[in-house]
Amino acid sequence: MQRGNGWQGCAERPEAATVYYDRWGAIATDESNGAFGAAEWFARKDNAERKALKECRKNRGIDCAIKFTYTNECVSVITGARMNYFQSSVSDQAAISHGLRRCQKDDSDCKVFYVGCSLPRKGI
């Protein structure tokens, strides 16, 4: 019979792996009247899309449709003179700079309209 810690006393215990939970975001617009809705930090894609549509309708949208869905990242909406640019990236600043660069390449009067993030949430 073994007494004491034995071989287990010498070995380090493995640390539990860190768990991250996905987070979703979505953007909805009504192109006929410019209504806009966004949702961030949702655990499920369908809930994020539903919330974005609800926000778009709340902002007087009638024909709201999902224009962009993202997970575990940030997104920017850049408005140009001719069109809107949706850009996702690892941070809000990266999404803005990449979006502005795209807009300035093909358009004019580029402005940041929206930026939001749905980054993964660390589990307990």
Number of structural domains in the chain: 1
Residue 11 within any structural domain of the chain: no
Residue 105 within any structural domain of the chain: yes
Residue 66 within any structural domain of the chain: yes
Nearest to 69 by CA among 90, 52, 85, 56: 52
Say whether pLDDT at 12 is over 60: yes
Residue 79 within any structural domain of the chain: yes
Residue 49 domain boundaries: 21-122
Say whether pLDDT at 6 is over 70: no
pLDDT in tens, 101-118: 999 999 999 999 999 999
Residue 90 within any structural domain of the chain: yes
Name the band, by pLDDT with cuts 50, 70 and 90, for residue 8. low
User: In the prediction, which pLDDT does 41 show?
Assistant: 98
Which one has a higher pLDDT value, 10 or 70? 70
Residue 31 within any structural domain of the chain: yes
Spell out the alpha helix ranges (H) of the chain.
Answer: 45-58, 92-106
Average predicted confidence (pLDDT) for the chain: 93
Residue 45 within any structural domain of the chain: yes
Mean per-residue pLDDT for 5-17? 66
Q: What is the DSSP letter of 49?
A: H
Residue 84 within any structural domain of the chain: yes
